[in-house]
Amino acid sequence: MTSSVDAEPAPTETPEAAAPASAPVDAARVARDITRLSVVAAVVLIALKAFAYGASGSVSILASLTDSALDLAASLATFYAVRWAAAPADAEHRFGHGKGEAMSALVQSGLIFASAVFIGWEALQRIFVPQPVVAGGWAVGVVLISILITSGLVWMQGRALKQAPSLAVEGDRSHYAADLAASVVVLIGVISGAWLKAPGLDAAAGLIVAIWLFWGAVGLLRQAADQLLDRAAPEAVAAAVTSAVLSDPRIGGLHALRTRMTGSATHIQMHVDLDPALTLDQAHAIVVEAEGRIHAAVPGADVIIHPDPRLRAPSVPVTGG
């Protein structure tokens, strides 16, 4: 029985059976793969919509084409941002490059704002000076294909975010999800302009797209600002950390709990109260065990714990920057 630990696997055992039940996810690889797919999708959508606009002259299609062109710029920014953010810490960036994702989201929000202004201006002009929509069949076909491509991309980005959270990818997904809803509005506008002989509805659809994009840009800007300004992690994270630390009865309390988000990483700092009679080795062991429980509750966290020689915490846990 004692030799069973070192025994060779049975000949019938497959490599898959011998592998760990759940291998750790390579977050950087997941982000790289999904951003590459996003760039390819943007290029395909631009080609399709440019053809549809040339054939139909629809302002709704023009709005969608302009948005897709900015999508490509934003996707390229995300493509490079996730690679830069995944780079390890160096002498100039001791906390890593995680805020590169927030910078990418900031660039994306600016591009979306610009897109919304351009589309809104063009739509207003067409409302006052309507122009007919021609070749509606081609335009509708292209919009339907665009909806299918965008739906698939948004679904795959959602799967990637479940595996490896990333602000840059989340921004890209929010931006394509807005495009998906906007494409439905564009479809209505093209049909109205081509077959219902109401070109004003086509221009109105373009205006709705502009408003939708503006609202999405505001939300993305807020997320980027939260990380750039070191906003605290959600209260649920602080509660999970507190519960994990205080599950050890040797820790009398914790205080000065601070959290902040940097890209996909969460930085956590705190003071814990330990018996002053403990040796340095004993205190160190307790702190290391607490760090392990925090990592289990918040995967990928960067944790710093300072032990204080007190039996009781002088204050309640406090979160924030």
Is the residue at 17 inside a domain?
Answer: no
Domain end call among 202, 228, 254: 228
d(CA 124, CA 138): 24
Structural domain count of the chain = 2
Single out the residue of 198, 277, 239, 221 nearest to residue 108, CA to CA.
221
pLDDT classification of 306: cutoffs 50, 70, 90: very high
CA 113 centroid distance within chain: 19
The token duo for 320 is 């924030």
Domain end call among 228, 246, 272: 228
Single out the residue of 120, 128, 164, 185 nearest to residue 28, CA to CA.
164
Neighbours of 58 (CB within 10 A): 34
**Quick one: 246 and 222 in the same domain?**
no
pLDDT of residue 25: 58
Residues 151-189 have pLDDT tens digits of: 898 899 888 888 877 767 877 787 787 777 777 777 776
Residue 258 φ/ψ, nearest 5 degrees: -130, 140
Report helix, strand or coil for 165. Answer: coil
* DSSP element (H, E) containing 305: strand 302-308
Give the mean pLDDT of the chain.
Answer: 76
**Quick one: 181 and 112 in the same domain?**
yes
Is the residue at 65 inside a domain?
Answer: yes
Residue 229 φ/ψ, nearest 5 degrees: -100, 15
pLDDT classification of 18: cutoffs 50, 70, 90: very low
First-last CA distance in the chain: 54
Instruction: Find which of 21-30, 36-45, 199-208 is predicted with most confidence, using mean pLDDT.
Output: 36-45
pLDDT classification of 130: cutoffs 50, 70, 90: low
d(CA 66, CA 49): 9
The token duo for 189 is 């506008």
Is the residue at 18 inside a domain?
Answer: no
**Quick one: 122 and 200 in the same domain?**
yes
> Is 60 exceeded by the pLDDT of residue 147?
yes
Quote the domain boundaries for residue 249: 235-308
Helices (H) and strands (E) in the chain, counts: 9, 3
DSSP class of 229: T
What's the CATH number where 154 sits? 1.20.1510.10
Strand boundaries in 166-264, DSSP class E: 253-262
pLDDT classification of 194: cutoffs 50, 70, 90: low
pLDDT of residue 97: 65
- 95-106 mean pLDDT: 71
**Quick one: 169 and 256 in the same domain?**
no
What's the CATH number where 254 sits? 3.30.70.1350
Residues 239-288 have pLDDT tens digits of: 999 999 999 999 988 888 998 877 667 889 999 999 998 999 999 999 99
d(CA 101, CA 190): 36
Q: Which residue has the higher pLDDT, 135 or 20?
A: 135
pLDDT of residue 114: 77
**Quick one: 152 and 221 in the same domain?**
yes
The token duo for 144 is 């339907």
> Is 70 exceeded by the pLDDT of residue 301?
yes
CB 172 within 8 A of CB 150: no
pLDDT classification of 311: cutoffs 50, 70, 90: low
pLDDT of residue 7: 44
State the SS3 of 250-295. Answer: CCCEEEEEEEEEECCEEEEEEEEECCCCCCHHHHHHHHHHHHHHHH
pLDDT classification of 19: cutoffs 50, 70, 90: very low
Count Cβ neighbours within 10 Å for each residue of 77-107 and write b for 16 or more, e otherwise: bbbebbebbbeeeeeeeeebbbbbbbbbbbb
pLDDT classification of 22: cutoffs 50, 70, 90: very low
Q: Say whether pTM exceeds 0.75.
A: no
Is the residue at 268 inside a domain?
Answer: yes
Q: Which residue has the higher pLDDT, 98 or 285?
A: 285
**Quick one: 223 and 266 in the same domain?**
no
Residue 270 pairs in a beta bridge with 305
32, amino acid identity: R
Is the residue at 317 inside a domain?
Answer: no
Single out the residue of 35, 284, 265 nearest to residue 173, CA to CA.
35
The token duo for 163 is 């595996």
pLDDT of residue 38: 87
Instruction: Find which of 46-60, 64-78, 271-285 is predicted with most confidence, using mean pLDDT.
Output: 271-285
**Quick one: 106 and 224 in the same domain?**
yes
**Quick one: 178 and 257 in the same domain?**
no
**Quick one: 187 and 241 in the same domain?**
no
d(CA 101, CA 284): 34
> Is 60 exceeded by the pLDDT of residue 17?
no
**Quick one: 32 and 173 in the same domain?**
yes
Q: Which residue has the higher pLDDT, 73 or 303?
A: 303
**Quick one: 163 and 35 in the same domain?**
yes
**Quick one: 169 and 290 in the same domain?**
no
The token duo for 103 is 């910078």
128 to each of 5, 208, 212, 300, how far by Cα in Å? 81, 16, 21, 55
